[in-house]
Each structure stands twice: as C-alpha cells, then as structure tokens.
Amino acid sequence: MDLQVQTREKFGKAVKTLRQAGMIPAELYGKGIENLHLVVALKDLRKVLKQAGESSMINVVLGKDKRPAMISNVELDPVSDAINTVDFYQVRLDEKIKVKVPFEFVGESVAVTGEKGILVKPMQEVEVEALPAEMPQNIKVDLSKITKIGESVYVKDLNIPTGVKLLVNDDTVVATVTAPMTEEEEAKLAAEVKIEDIKVETEEKKAERDAVKAATDVAKAPEAASKTK
C-alpha cells in the first residue's frame, strides 16, 4: 500500500499550522539512512492505519522515491486523541524484523453464550518475527474452539501464516473461559478489598503521625538544648 508524503519545512511551533491544514508532521528513519522530515495528509494516514495497521509494510512515496517502511509510532494528543505526529521506519525487504502484532478475536464461545462463562483475554498482542512483506496485520484467534468452561486457546492452536514466527512459548494462553463467580465468592472478594483499603489507610495515617512527630521533635530540639546550658 502506498502513502504519499512531502518534504517538511516547518518545525517546532510552526507545525500547528500544518495540523490546522489537515497535514501531520512525520519522520522517516532507518538503519544506515539519513532521517527525513516529512508531512503527510491526515486523511491518507487514517486510510493506511485502517487498512494496513501498524504492523504491515507500506510504501512511503516521496516524489519518484518509493521506500518500504513500517509505521513505528503514532503520537496522539493526550486530551483529544487526535494524531500529533507519526514515525516511519524504513526496512530492508531481505531482513527479518520483530514487530508486535495485535490479536483479532473472532467467533463466539458456547461456553460464554450457553454456560454464562467469563471470557478472559490475557494477551492483546504478540511479538512476531518475519520479513516485512510477510508481516501480518493481525493474528486471528477463533473463540469458537472454546466449547466448555475451563478450556483455552493456546498459541499452539493459532493458524500462523507461512514465514511468520511468534516469539512466545507455544503453551501461552491467548484466551480462556472461566466459571462465573458465585455470590459467596463475590462477597469474599469485596470483603478482602475493604480490608486491604483499611490496611492501606491505617498505614498512611501512621506515616502521617510519624512525620508530624519527627517534625515536632526537630522543633523542640533547640529549645531542649538551650535549657541544658
């Protein structure tokens, strides 16, 4: 997938005008190459993020120059979640890279829909090693394989594309279904939380008392010293 970019000439506070015009400041870097300061249209970047994600290879196109790259970082505004900047990492097509790829959970488990089990997903992504052109956008996890409470989907159960290696143990749990908590278990958990809260509060008050006492002792020290003279 191609992404058209342009050379950027505005930096610092001046990039605000770029964002107002629907353009996003960007950087292209990589092993043995000179960093390029770029700008990309927000609408084009959003399209690439939707179709390719941050784990698939794209072509960053600058004029007649086309460079294979991965989206290495998307910086969002902490308040509005708007895209502030984006970084591209230029890759070599003959060199494997390591990237975190998200899981896509598909299908439904009858252990959840029929037995009211609780679906637990300990992992949302996994580190993957592959050639850039073979890097998948996501790894699908079929939840329909879980037919009973207590069953799980493991890494070894996943359908991994050819040339792709998951850098995690085959026996790692990706998804599991547990039994719903009984009323007694919920009450016990609530009681444990309250006890822990009380304990933390007590420790905090003790720390406050110790701090006040220490400050008082320091204040009294000169007075006590003068009385002994």
CB-based contacts of 168: which residues, under 8 Å, 6+ apart?
126, 127, 155
Average pLDDT over residues 56-72: 93
Angle at 193 between CA 191 and CA 196, to 5 degrees: 110
Average pLDDT over residues 199-203: 55
Q: Which of 7-21, 88-102, 114-128 has the lowest mean pLDDT?
A: 7-21
Predicted TM-score (pTM) of this structure: 0.70
Instruction: Give me 86's structure tokens.
Output: 């984006």
Architecture of the CATH domain 2-91:
Beta Barrel (2.40)
Instruction: Give me 114's structure tokens.
Output: 């029929």
- The 8-class DSSP code of residue 154 comes to E
Domains of the chain, residue spans? 2-91, 98-178, 182-229
Q: What is the pLDDT of residues 151-170, one digit of tens each?
A: 999 999 999 999 999 999 99
Are 139 and 103 a contacting pair, CB within 8 Å?
A: yes
In this predicted model, which residue has the larger pLDDT, 104 or 197? Answer: 104
Average pLDDT over residues 49-60: 90
Are 86 and 73 a contacting pair, CB within 8 Å?
A: yes
Average pLDDT over residues 7-15: 85
Q: Are the folds of 2-91 and 98-178 the same?
A: no
- Which helix H or strand E contains 157, and what residues bound it? none
Alpha helices, H only, the chain: 15-20, 42-51, 110-113, 183-228
| Residue 223, pLDDT score | 52
In terms of Cα–Cα distance, which of 66, 57, 51 is closest to 4? 66
Question: Is 98-178 a CATH 2.30.31.70 domain?
Answer: no
Q: Is the pLDDT of residue 228 over 50?
A: no
